[in-house]
């Protein structure tokens, strides 16, 4: 009888043990919502989009007057082009290494420049999200500094005025609500996810698309006009575009106005602001691109503000 009771106890112990083991094997760590963790961290640390676009541009005349040696200038052009001429004291770097290069700034404010200001805008996002808040880009890049480096003049056009996909009246689409993207990351804390995502964004570089391609097939993209309503009323817009500007930020679920499953195309006046916005969105997990050279590549002759005309004539060095 004692032997029978022992066998029964052993049997039940084995059954309970097997069940407990299977529960352990079936248990999985809950999946981290990287987008939620990342965006919560960014809002808590004043890294919403409006903090990227606050006091972030300086034009050539103002920078020359302020004294270029008072700032730490990072030039993102190729080494060969840097050697043909650059702002006195500038440090040559690449977009991929801009955060590392910024460590040499010390207490100086940082000014980032490139060919046209568009790569520099991407670099600015990386620096501000990496703790370098006191940084700006040189408006129009080195093209605005001296005619020797001009890459703007050859890229302006009025192609949109001849396109059937440009609307001269305000028929812009009204925003609707979408979900959020699934942000790919291996880290789990907000700070670490952000560091990982900034590195990823920099590895991709400036994400852009030609205005001719968007005008040819606007339905292939989720297009966002980054202007004010008054600007749209004055100039028109690409057909099928939304106008999401003032509300486009993490706070108050403003990013839900963007379709996370589409290729998002942002356009502005010069391609500099849209390069900044698209870089920021790529950090968060969206597939976003900037229209190269902005409205200046579509309706340059019509523009009354932020219009490329002639480059500056400020000094440069070659050593």
Alpha helices, DSSP H only, in the chain?
Answer: 2-26, 34-44, 60-66, 79-84, 98-102, 118-129, 190-204, 211-216, 229-235, 272-284
Q: How far is CA 262 from CA 162, 220, 289, in A?
A: 27, 8, 11
In 10 A of CB 154, how many CB atoms? 9
- Residue carrying the six token digits 């028929």: 171
Can you give the residue ranges of every domain in the chain?
34-149, 166-302
**Alpha-carbon span 51 to 69, nearest angstrom:** 26
Q: Provide the b/e sequence for 109-121 (b: ≥16 CB within 10 Å).
A: bbbbbbbbbbbbb
Structure tokens at 85: 């001429």
Closest CA to 181 of 282, 249, 43, 41: 282
**Alpha-carbon span 276 to 304, nearest angstrom:** 22
**Predicted confidence pLDDT, tens digits, the chain (319 residues):** 444 454 455 444 444 444 544 444 454 556 889 999 999 999 999 999 999 999 999 999 999 999 999 999 999 999 999 999 999 999 999 999 999 999 999 999 999 999 999 999 999 999 999 999 999 999 999 999 999 999 999 999 999 999 999 999 889 999 999 999 999 999 999 999 999 999 999 999 999 999 999 999 999 999 999 999 999 999 999 999 999 999 999 998 999 999 999 999 999 999 999 999 999 999 999 999 999 999 999 999 999 999 998 899 999 999 8
Q: Are the CB atoms for 111 and 136 separated by under 8 Å? A: yes
Q: Kind and range of the H or E element at 224?
A: strand 222-225
CATH fold match for the domains 34-149 and 166-302: yes
User: Looking at domain 34-149, which CATH architecture does it have?
Assistant: 3-Layer(aba) Sandwich (3.40)
Q: Which fold has domain 166-302?
A: Oxidized Rhodanese; domain 1 (3.40.250)
Could you tell me the pTM of the whole model?
A: 0.90
**Count H helices, E strands: the chain?**
10, 11
Q: What are phi and psi of 46, to 5 degrees?
A: 55, 45
- Residue carrying the six token digits 């902005």: 294
């Amino acid at each position: 009888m004692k032997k029978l009771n022992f066998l029964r106890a052993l049997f039940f112990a084995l059954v309970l043990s097997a069940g407990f083991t299977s529960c352990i094997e079936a248990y999985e760590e809950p999946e981290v919502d990287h987008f939620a963790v990342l965006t919560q961290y960014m809002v808590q640390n004043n890294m919403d989009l409006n903090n990227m676009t606050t006091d972030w541009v300086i034009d050539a005349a103002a920078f020359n007057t302020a004294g270029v040696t008072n700032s730490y200038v990072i030039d993102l052009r190729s080494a060969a082009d840097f050697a043909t001429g650059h702002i006195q004291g500038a440090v040559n770097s690449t977009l991929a290494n801009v955060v590392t290069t910024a460590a040499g700034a010390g207490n100086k404010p940082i000014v980032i420049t490139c060919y046209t200001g568009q790569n520099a805008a991407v670099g600015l996002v990386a620096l501000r999200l990496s703790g370098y808040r006191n940084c700006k880009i040189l408006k129009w890049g080195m093209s605005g500094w001296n005619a020797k480096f001009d890459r703007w003049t050859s890229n302006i056009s009025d192609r949109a005025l001849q396109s059937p996909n440009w609307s001269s009246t305000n028929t812009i689409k009204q925003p609707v609500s979408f979900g959020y993207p699934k942000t790919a990351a291996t880290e789990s804390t907000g700070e670490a996810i952000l560091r990982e995502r900034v590195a990823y964004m920099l590895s991709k570089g400036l994400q852009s698309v030609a205005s001719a391609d968007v005008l040819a097939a606007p339905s292939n993209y989720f297009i966002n006009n980054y202007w004010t309503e008054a600007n749209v009323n004055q100039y028109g817009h690409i057909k099928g575009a939304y106008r999401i500007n003032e509300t486009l930020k993490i706070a108050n679920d403003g990013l839900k106005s963007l379709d996370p499953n589409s290729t998002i195309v942002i356009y502005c006046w010069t391609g500099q602001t849209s390069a900044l916005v698209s870089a920021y969105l790529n950090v968060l997990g969206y597939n976003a691109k900037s229209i190269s050279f902005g409205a200046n590549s579509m309706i340059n002759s019509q523009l009354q503000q932020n219009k490329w005309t002639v480059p500056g004539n400020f000094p440069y060095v070659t050593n």
